[in-house]
Chain A
C-alpha cells in the first residue's frame, strides 16, 4: 500500500469517527450514528466501514485494499443539539450528491460548532411550555401563571449550573428543588389558585429526560440493547435526582406531596 493511499485512509477514518462522535454527543440514536458514519466512509472510498457504538465511546474501523485502520473516540455528552444533527446529515448528503470532496468534508466536520439560542429566550419559552403543561392538566389561570414563573426560574437556574459544569444529576436535583419551592408557596400564601398541586407537578416537567427515554427504546427496538440500557438507566437516575429535589422541597416547606 502506498503512502498516499494510507494517508487518504487515515483521513477518511478520521472523518467517519468525527461524524459519529458529533452525532453521539448531541443526542442522536445509535442507528443514525452507525448509518451516517458508514455512508460517509463508503462515499470517501473505503471498501467497508465497521462501527461499534458504546454508551460513552465509539470504535470505527475502515477497510481499504485489505488494509485496516481502527480508531477510538471518547464520547462526552454535550447536551442535545438538533442543529448539529442537521449539519452532519447535510454534509453527508452533499458528499453523496458529489457536491463536496474529501478535503471539504473533513474541513466542514472540523468547523462545526453547536449553535445555541439566546438563553433568556429559552428561559421564557420553557416557562411557557410548563404553563401549557399545567393548562393541559386542567390548572386554572393563576396556577398556570405560577407554573410559568417557577418553570422559567428553574430553567435559568439549570442553565447556570450547567454552565458551571455541575454534575447533571446534582443539577437536576437542585433545579427540581428550586421549581418546587417556588410553586409550593401557593399552598402557604393565597395566590388565588385552586389547583396549586398541578402547578407543583407541571413546574418540574422541564426536567423529564424525554430524549434519552425515547432514544433508549428506539435503540433497543433496533437491536442496540447496550446503548439502550445505558440511556434508560441514566434517564431513570435523572428522574430519581429530580424526585429527591422535589421531596426535599416538600419537607422543607412542609407541604403535602401529590401522592
Chain B
C-alpha cells in the first residue's frame, strides 16, 4: 500500500514537472497530455523498480525509459510526429540535475579550498551518476530505433 502511494505521488509530481518543461520547450497544446502521461509513466515505473524490485537507479531508469520509448512510438504514429517531441519533455523529471550541480560545485570548491580526497570523491561519484543516468535516458529513448526500426523511419 505504501509502495503504491509512493508510486502514485511520484507519478503525479513528475507529470507536473514534465508539463512545466513542455511549456518551456513549446510543445504544441494537443500533445501536452501525452507529455504528462509519459512523464508519470516513466517516473512511476522507475519508483516501482527501485522501491519494489530493488534495482539500482541507473538500471531502473534504463528499463523505465525504454518502455516509455516503445509507448512513444505508438503515440507518435497516431500523432504523426517524431516521438522525441513529447518523450524528451516527459523524461526531464528524471534528469539528475542535483548530482550534476553537486559535481561541479565540488570542483569549484576544490579550486577554492585546495584538493581533498573527500571533495574529489564527491565530484567523481556525482559525475559518474549524472553521466550514467543521462546515458540510460538517452539510450532508453533510442531503444525502438536501435532494436526494431533499424533501417526504416518510425514516422
Contacts and interface: CB of A to CB of B under 8 A. Distances in A.
B53 interface: no
A247 interface: yes
A122 B98 contact: no
A133 B153 CA distance: 35
B contact patch SS: helix
Contacts of B95: 208, 210, 213-214
A213 B136 CA distance: 12
A129 B26 contact: no
A89 interface: yes
B98 A137 contact: yes
Contacts of B16: 128-129, 132
Nearest to B97: A208
B33 interface: no
B85 A125 contact: no
Given A82-B28, A218-B142, A243 B105 contact: yes
Contact of B25 (A81, A121, A221): A81
Given A122-B24, A243-B108, A136 B10 contact: yes
Contacts of B13: 132-133, 135-136
Contacts of B17: 129, 132-133, 136
A257 B86 CA distance: 35
A133 B10 CA distance: 10
Interface in B83-124: 84-86, 88-89, 91-93, 95, 97-98, 100-102, 104-106, 108-109, 119, 122
A221 B26 contact: no
A199 interface: no
A58 B141 CA distance: 25
A31 B82 CA distance: 12
Interface in A151-193: 155
A82 B83 CA distance: 11
Interface string B114-155: 000001001000000000001101110110011000000101
B21 interface: yes
Interface in A23-76: 27-29, 31-32, 35, 39
B105 A214 contact: no
A214 B145 CA distance: 15
B27 interface: yes
A133 to B, nearest CB: 6
B100 A239 contact: yes
Contact of A86 (B18, B28, B139, B146): B28
A117 B139 CA distance: 30
B127 to A, nearest CB: 10
Contacts of A121: 23
B82 A89 contact: yes
Interface string A198-227: 000110111010110110111001100000
Contacts of A89: 80-82, 85, 155
Contacts of B122: 259
A126 B84 CA distance: 20
Nearest to A236: B104
Contact of A259 (B89, B105, B141): B105
Given A84-B26, A93-B155, A155-B24, 8 more contacts: A116-B26, A126-B21, A129-B18, A136-B10, A136-B17, A137-B98, A208-B95, A257-B105
Q: Which 3 A-B pairs have the closest CB atoms?
A: A129-B20, A217-B138, A208-B97
5 contacts: A93-B155, A116-B26, A122-B23, A222-B142, A247-B105
